Amino acid sequence: MPERRTVALVTLGCARNEVDSEELAGRLEADGWQLVEDAADADVAVVNTCGFVEAAKKDSVDALLEANDLKDHGRTQAVVAVGCMAERYGKELAEALPEADGVLGFDDYADISDRLQTILSGGIHASHTPRDRRKLLPISPAERQESAAAVALPGHGPADLPEGVAPASGPRAPLRRRLDGAPVASVKLASGCDRRCSFCAIPSFRGSFISRRPSDVLNETRWLAEQGVKEIMLVSENNTSYGKDLGDIRLLESLLPELAEVDGIERVRVSYLQPAEMRPGLIDVLTATPKVVPYFDLSFQHSAPDVLRAMRRFGDTDRFLELLDTIRSKAPEAGVRSNFIVGFPGESEADLAELERFLTGARLDAIGVFGYSDEEGTEAASYENKLDEDVVAERLARVSRLAEELVSQRAEERVGQTVHVLVESVDEEEGVYGRAAHQAPETDGQVLLTSGEGLSVGRMVEAKVVGTEGVDLVAEPLGGSPACSEEAGR
């Protein structure tokens, strides 16, 4: 019997990429590939790249080069690029980076096994010429679902596959294979984006916004619960638009309570919300539904009106603060995070002061700050009034210092509160760590529990916050008993 082909998936970038990697893993395993964790142990190393900003692209190239080095002293015979950077640049990336034995776009995902086998056998798969994926679907959202079957949509795998496609396969098995045993998993709610922010190139290579059907989201969540997942995080480029192409812009409000009722799921989290699209009904569901955490990942980007208009976005400091007041009037302990761009073309000192005024008043739990840089293919890249690089760097450092101070202060406000912590790691030397309801994976800090007696990964624990370490919390378990399911995440 021939030795099974081995493949490792290396994932960079956001949670959406993690979902895509697990779909690729499901396809490959179904076709007989053996999945391994370490690229050095794989015949083929598949690097799922990020193409969002320059730093992320550099990380992707570094990961490809690192994987290529394994060919000199490991089992690895081929290195293949997939993901956003591969889709965005295609042939151009293949020519600029000959170390990659293949560059595969989204259209190749359905045939990923054949593509890898061709490359592993020494064959060549011609890399694609990038195209604007917004043009693959109708302009009208109402007409997109009928055309969706003909367009590659990573992470939208059907939920009615035959037995054997994924672990514990059955009627609910999605086109997905988990790559770790973490108690939290992301579920893709939609793909693409219809917004036209002047600094962002994502819509051009991820395409127009299209929702997954609620039944597929529910079935995938049920399957994940069967795999031991306790928390799901709904991801997309813009979750507040969910359902608009299905005829119901309020579909998220009805889907969330159904997801919260899935057996085994203790916490449901929604990421990436657009402030301009927040609805009173959605705020109500996010703040009052058991097991749905009052967590608001709001994409503010800035708060000075002139800068926001140049970004082709909406709002201002006072309206944003009013939105946060509304949220906290319903859920005083709600978690809020956001990202901001400083040094945008034309940004004045007064604009920066306005942003600092907002940050100071917003009491955000987590803040990401990025310095503006031109992104090819975007409207902002053609703007005049660009700031010097040293000015952008100075403003980035200045606002980052403020952000660090503010999130530490916000963490201190939580001392004395009772939180429900999902345990994610237990180590005799490093201790027991988990996350509270206001903390999303990877981005928002964590909770160090003062006692780990009787605790295991995946356990939900009620604890009292007794201290802070920057953005992180230190908490003492109350009675060592798991949090009640009805209260988890509230």
Helix or strand (DSSP H, E) at 185: strand 184-188
The answer to the question of residue 210 being in a domain is: yes
Task: List, in order, residues 6 or more apart from 325 with CB less than 8 Å away.
Answer: none
The answer to the question of residue 27 being in a domain is: yes
The CATH number that applies at residue 391 is: 3.80.30.20
CA distance 200 to 481: 46
- pLDDT score for 14: 86
Please determine, for residue 490, whether its predicted confidence score (pLDDT) is greater than 70.
no
- Do 402 and 473 belong to one domain? no
- Do 287 and 422 belong to one domain? no
| Per-residue pLDDT tens over the stretch 276-321 | 999 999 999 999 999 999 999 999 999 999 999 999 999 999 999 9
- Do 409 and 424 belong to one domain? no
Determine the 3-state secondary structure of 370 from DSSP: strand
66-70: average pLDDT: 82
| Per-residue pLDDT tens over the stretch 175-198 | 888 998 899 999 999 999 999 999
Domain boundary among 413, 443, 465: 413
The answer to the question of residue 122 being in a domain is: yes
Domain count, the chain: 3
418-434: average pLDDT: 93
Average pLDDT, the chain: 90
Q: Are 256 and 288 a contacting pair, CB within 8 Å?
A: no
- Residue 188 phi/psi, 5° resolution? -75, 125
- pLDDT score for 191: 94
- Do 296 and 335 belong to one domain? yes
Domain of 233 in residue numbering reads as: 141-157+171-413
- Do 409 and 426 belong to one domain? no
Q: How confident is the model at residue 172 (pLDDT cuts 50, 70, 90)?
A: low
By C-alpha distance, which of 117, 103, 93 is closest to 28? 117
Report percent pLDDT > 70 for the chain. 93
| Per-residue pLDDT tens over the stretch 112-128 | 999 999 999 999 899 99
432-453: average pLDDT: 93
The CATH number that applies at residue 438 is: 2.40.50.140
Domain boundary among 413, 429, 447: 413
Helix or strand (DSSP H, E) at 342: strand 335-342
Domain boundary among 396, 413, 430: 413
- Do 266 and 315 belong to one domain? yes
The CATH number that applies at residue 105 is: 3.40.50.12160
The answer to the question of residue 339 being in a domain is: yes
CA distance 51 to 222: 31
The answer to the question of residue 488 being in a domain is: no
Numbers of helices and strands, H then E, in the chain: 14, 18
The answer to the question of residue 1 being in a domain is: no
454-471: average pLDDT: 95
| Residue 197 assigned as binding residue | yes
Please determine, for residue 5, whether its predicted confidence score (pLDDT) is greater than 70.
yes
- Do 341 and 236 belong to one domain? yes
Q: Which residues pair with 427 in a beta bridge?
A: 431
pTM assigned to the model: 0.91
- Do 244 and 348 belong to one domain? yes
| Per-residue pLDDT tens over the stretch 316-349 | 999 999 999 999 999 999 999 999 999 999 999 9
Tell me the DSSP string of 134-183.
Answer: GGGS-SSGGGHHHHGGGS--TT---S-PPTTSSTT-STT--S---SS--S
| Per-residue pLDDT tens over the stretch 194-243 | 999 999 999 999 999 999 999 999 999 999 999 999 999 999 999 999 99
Q: How confident is the model at residue 173 (pLDDT cuts 50, 70, 90)?
A: low
The answer to the question of residue 58 being in a domain is: yes
- Do 95 and 200 belong to one domain? no
- Do 76 and 206 belong to one domain? no
| Residue 14 assigned as binding residue | yes
| Residue 484 assigned as binding residue | no
- Position with higher pLDDT, 352 vs 479: 352
1-22: average pLDDT: 85
71-92: average pLDDT: 89
- Do 70 and 176 belong to one domain? no
Q: Are 225 and 216 a contacting pair, CB within 8 Å?
A: no
- pLDDT score for 1: 38
- Do 370 and 260 belong to one domain? yes
The answer to the question of residue 487 being in a domain is: no
49-61: average pLDDT: 79
